[in-house]
Amino acid sequence: MNYPVWEVQGIGLPWVVGIIAIFHVMISQFAVGGGLYLALVERKAIKDGRSDWFPLIKAHSKFFLLLTAVFGTVSGVGIWFAIGLIQPEATSTLIHNFVFGWAIEWVFFLVELASAIVYYYTWDRIPQALHLKVAWLYAGASVCTLVIINGILSFMLTPGDTWLGVAGSGHESTYFWNAFFNPTYWPSLMIRCLVCGSLAAVWALVTFSRLDVEAYGKTRTELIRWTVRWLIPAFILMPIAFLWYAAMIPATNKHLLELGMATIGSGAFTQVTRIALLSIMSSATIAAVAYLFAYKYPRDFSSGHAIAIVGIALAATASTEYAREAIRKPYVIGSHMYSNGVRVHDVDKLNQTGFLTQSMWTPTGAAVTDVQRGKAMFAGQCMYCHTVNGYRSMKHFLEGRDAKAIGNILTMLRQNKVDSPYHAYMPPLVGTTEEVAALQTYLLTLNQAAPAGSVARK
């Protein structure tokens, strides 16, 4: 607890990042796939001598530039701002371990942004061959950003045994490549590449569906059908990529998914399973709608249909990102740092010396009450996932529980035994017995209807 805790009422801390990230991921992956799309569609137009395609590709490049360069950039800054406030310890670890990776990614991003601007503003001003080279420059830079970011994001789930072996020693950055090319790097990259191609098609359909049928009939039909074909690789290869990814996930992380699949007949879905199924169903729906409405009947394909596909794609993106985050629990960095910022190797130490003693933000002095100390414990260890009376509400969870029941829960969390019902989802509760008792006292104030009883110190 080296940093103050930002309290967000209602939606809580996770959804601050989640809401920004869902839109950013959808736009940033479109930026990668869309760059390849523009290069290939312009190449095809040049090769086939289709001068009637150029004005329409130019129109799409304007839409592409505005959406990716403006919204994508702003939302990317928003993510950095949010994670710096919500997960400062994890953000610090990622920056220190991957500082040169981030630097290289930002260089590619600057190249990407500059070439996107040049690409749009040089239509009909430079030779076609040179203009196409600008498109390939953008596409190459955007793919490089994905290659780098994927290494950092996949590291958060599977840092790998080599990196974990030196974690906490101060020499973590010397194992940069071990951490970067971690166990889930390649399957994750394959999945993201397939998603990028799909989103390139989804957003291109928005542009071409808005064209007047009478004015651009044949050209509109050809571009819509050529665009729908971009969805084919994703829906053929995605199951293979997913199975590869699942095989590389540590057994403890895929336990919830496997449990839900095993009990699907009885309806005992786990949350991760429900979200994963939503991702699969929404992705399949995109393919079905695109084929039945866009490919088979392109003249009848309207902007309303295209926006509906974008909405389904947003649902697929949201559910996929949610599942990716949920499957990492109870860690924010696998087997190294829990979701509340406590490092695994610090648990025993904090149980002896105290959690609150490590923080300059903790109220001190003889006048400080147990309720105040307990509130500080709640802020430092619980508020990363829970709110008082909103998303994952503690008031709702504690409803009807007395001091003994709350004490039993806190004891299970502090002992963190493998057979505990909370072991797979929640970090261990750390701190001295006095601090745990103070947390118990504070939680009782959230449930005034329950009898106070006595606060046991275990």
What are the angstrom distances between the C-alpha of 122 and each of 10, 22, 58? 48, 32, 10
- Asked if pLDDT for residue 267 goes beyond 50, the answer is no
Q: Who's near 379: CB < 8 A, 6+ residues apart? A: 5, 7
Mean pLDDT of 33-54: 97
- CA-based nearest residue to 89, from 362, 430, 383, 338: 338
- Which tokens hold the place of 376? 């500080």
Q: Return the top range by mean pLDDT from 27-31, 231-235, 420-424.
A: 27-31
Q: Who's near 302: CB < 8 A, 6+ residues apart? A: 209
Q: Who's near 262: CB < 8 A, 6+ residues apart? A: none
* Residues 376-409 pLDDT 10s: 999 999 999 999 999 899 999 998 899 999 999 9
The pLDDT > 70 percentage for the chain reads 94
Query: Range with the lowest mean pLDDT among 257-261, 310-314, 385-389, 394-398?
Result: 257-261
Mean pLDDT of 440-454: 73
**Distance between CA atoms of 282 and 139, rounded to whole angstroms?**
27
Phi, psi values for residue 290, rounded to 5°: -60, -40
- CA-based nearest residue to 285, from 304, 258, 257, 305: 305
CB 402 within 8 A of CB 451: yes
pLDDT band at 269 (very low <50, low <70, confident <90, very high): very low
* Residues 160-204 pLDDT 10s: 999 999 998 889 989 999 999 999 999 999 999 999 999 999 999
455 or 272, which is more confident?
A: 272
CB 280 within 8 A of CB 323: no
**Distance between CA atoms of 260 and 265, rounded to whole angstroms?**
9
pLDDT band at 256 (very low <50, low <70, confident <90, very high): low
- CA-based nearest residue to 20, from 68, 79, 66, 72: 79
* Residues 323-336 pLDDT 10s: 888 888 899 999 99
Mean pLDDT of 64-81: 94
What are the angstrom distances between the C-alpha of 257 and each of 191, 326, 331? 18, 10, 16
What are the angstrom distances between the C-alpha of 198 and each of 140, 235, 312, 413? 18, 9, 12, 42
- Which tokens hold the place of 129? 């061959």
* Confidence at residue 453, expressed as pLDDT on a 0 to 100 scale: 46
The pLDDT > 90 percentage for the chain reads 79
* Residues 74-121 pLDDT 10s: 999 999 999 999 999 999 999 999 999 999 999 999 999 999 999 999
- Where are the alpha helices (H) located in 366-432, listed in sequence order? 370-381, 394-398, 403-415
- Asked if pLDDT for residue 457 goes beyond 50, the answer is no
Record the pTM.
Answer: 0.91
Mean pLDDT of 409-423: 93
Crossing angle for the helix pair 128-157 and 185-209, to the nearest 10 degrees: 130
* Residues 13-34 pLDDT 10s: 989 999 999 999 999 999 999 9
Q: Give strand pairing partners of 331.
A: 338
Mean pLDDT of 289-314: 96
* Confidence at residue 203, expressed as pLDDT on a 0 to 100 scale: 97
- CA-based nearest residue to 66, from 105, 107, 34: 34
* Residues 363-375 pLDDT 10s: 777 788 999 999 9
The amino acid at 383? M
Using left for φ > 0, alpha for ψ between -120 and 50, and beta otherwise, residue 236 falls in alpha
* Confidence at residue 153, expressed as pLDDT on a 0 to 100 scale: 95
* Confidence at residue 258, expressed as pLDDT on a 0 to 100 scale: 66
> What are the b/e assignments for 332-362, b being 16+ CB within 10 Å?
bbbbbbbbbbbbbebbeebbeebbbebbeeb
* Confidence at residue 170, expressed as pLDDT on a 0 to 100 scale: 87
* Confidence at residue 353, expressed as pLDDT on a 0 to 100 scale: 94
The average confidence (pLDDT) of the chain is 91
What are the angstrom distances between the C-alpha of 19 and each of 32, 75, 214, 367? 21, 10, 40, 40
